[in-house]
Structure 1
Amino acid sequence: MPTVRQLLQYKPNGKQIVALTAWDFAIAQILDEAGVDLILVGDSLAMVTLGYENTLPLTLDEIIHHAKAVKRGVKHALIVVDLPFLSYQTSTEVAIGSAGKILKETGAQAVKLEGGHPAMVATVARLVEIGIPVMGHIGLTPQSVHQLGYRQQGQSETDRERLIASAVALEAAGAFAIVLEHIPADLAKSISQKLSIPTIGIGAGADCDGQVLVTADLLGLTQRQPPFAKAYVNLRATIAQAVQDYSAEVKEGRG
């Protein structure tokens, strides 16, 4: 199982980080056996598993419930768990309580939170100070959907400078890696080159230090595929066909 410290050595050694999301035992076990480096119990489970319209309704207890199941299926990969909306933004003390609860109850090795400079930097620094590894997340931050929407971030010069400043500040605060979501590829490359910690891209081009996808998107299970997410198989159609074949056999007395 790679530790946070070992993951930090991927970048200087030129090794790409392979990351995917998981939400239950079966998916986690498959990803782990396939050799994924990092498994993220992302708040995308709000939509993928629980049927919410966005990530905002997800609670701390819900993500902990799923993270426990994921942990049971993992023997090798590093597990990182998202801090849900309003489980960390209101104060550093609240963030410590939420992050500590996740690590104590799930057995995960790290947490991830959204946002950069200046709002989240002090929170990241304090979490790291007390021994909680933190992965940052900037660019398109889904918990800010009502403010930012789902459009690509970092298109104006002001936004580019803000994102670069956030990445640098998060590294200085002690984040061990940063997710760069849905930003221009040249900006992601610039950020990656400025940092000594790894960047993990999702819709941010090929020049990050690793890539992450929502596994349901990779498998073609979602109805609304993000424009930057490649489906490697259409399991939605495969499963539907299998169910139809089974149903036909049962109805015809062959099941």
Structure 2
Amino acid sequence: MYAPDDRKPLTVPALAEAKRGGHRLAMLTAYDAGFARVFDESGADILLVGDSLGMVVQGHGSTLPVSVDDMVYHTAIVARGVRRSLLVADLPFQADATPERALEASTRLLQAGAQMVKLEGAGHKLEVIRFLVEREIPVCAHLGLTPQSVLRLGGYKVQGREDAVARRLREDAAAVAEAGATLLVLECVPSGLAEAITAAVVIPTIGIGAGPHCDGQVLVLHDFLGLHTGHRRPKFVKDFLGEGGSVAGAVKAYVAAVREGSFPGPEHSYE
């Protein structure tokens, strides 16, 4: 079984190797250098500077107020704590509305230290993905519950339980991979649908509330440490600090659980 060398930085091409080798990828969000350093040294494969910072760091009710300047600032300080983990940064709300805007924002994020940018949705975003990839910017796609669509969706709800929505998600997953995305986050989709998408696409899938069959998992820092953020605690969250005994121990427990497939369990998944 393929496994990345823990002594060497994880590269973009290594993601595809991990999927082919059956190596599950452990991803966590990070927003500052201190946590990034602990996560990096404790075995996290990928760190995501998520626009979730709008809710868990800035105290907003959604991710919509987060700006490109916010993302560049947090990406730069997280990058100072990273030695091995692959660093991904979110394109915030409307930063990817056009290919040109996405290129400008992505360039700033990569110059701040990111190695990949993440954007939500498909549709017109396929043109954005192609545009960025053609200009040497690796892209992570994000489907299912897309938090930047919270107003249209009417809240944070599981996506893909209806046949038509499930069919569209499968089609969108194939489309983002064809457009050149290197990685795909699946958020809050039924476990069986995530399993089918994971089997169908050649790029690794990273689940969050998407069951145990994805090629990797991601959790928000505050959620996996059991920290109260003022927001409703999702079903897919598990507090790893209790069993880990320390932040470093929590990361190691999380990484081990992802690698062996014991997290997420049925209690963290949607049907």
After TM superposition, the score normalised by the length of structure 2 is 0.84
1:58 maps to which of 62, 66, 70: 66
In the alignment, structure 1 residue 174 sits paired with structure 2 residue 180: yes
Structure 2, unpaired ranges of 5+? 1-8, 247-271
Counterpart of 1:26 in structure 2: which amino acid? G
Runs of 4+ in 1 over 4 A off after TM superposition: none
In the alignment, structure 1 residue 217 sits paired with structure 2 residue 223: yes
In the alignment, structure 1 residue 128 sits paired with structure 2 residue 128: no
2:193 maps to which of 176, 187, 192: 187
- How far residue 229 of structure 1 moved from its aligned partner, in angstroms, is 1.2
Deviations 1:152-211, CA, capped at 9 Å, x for gaps: 000111000110010000000000010000000000000000011100000000000000
Counterpart of 2:107 in structure 1: which amino acid? G
Counterpart of 2:146 in structure 1: which amino acid? T
Deviations 1:45-76, CA, capped at 9 Å, x for gaps: 11111111110000000111111110000111
- How far residue 233 of structure 1 moved from its aligned partner, in angstroms, is 2.9
Deviations 1:118-154, CA, capped at 9 Å, x for gaps: 2211110110011000000000000001111201000
> Sequence identity, in percent?
46
- How far residue 13 of structure 1 moved from its aligned partner, in angstroms, is 0.4
What is residue 101 of structure 1 aligned with on the other side?
108
What is residue 99 of structure 2 aligned with on the other side?
92
- How far residue 225 of structure 1 moved from its aligned partner, in angstroms, is 1.6
Find the aligned partners of 2:24 and 2:121 in 1 and give their Cα distance: 24
What is residue 196 of structure 1 aligned with on the other side?
202
Counterpart of 2:121 in structure 1: which amino acid? G
Greater relative contact order structure (CA < 8 Å, 6+ sep): 2
What is residue 156 of structure 2 aligned with on the other side?
150
Counterpart of 2:241 in structure 1: which amino acid? V
Counterpart of 2:88 in structure 1: which amino acid? V
Counterpart of 2:61 in structure 1: which amino acid? E
After TM superposition, the score normalised by the length of structure 1 is 0.89
Residue 172 of structure 1 aligns to a residue in which SS?
A: helix
Mark the structure with the bigger radius of gyration: 1
Counterpart of 2:211 in structure 1: which amino acid? G
Give the root-mean-square deviation of aligned CA atoms.
1.3
2:235 maps to which of 198, 203, 227: 227
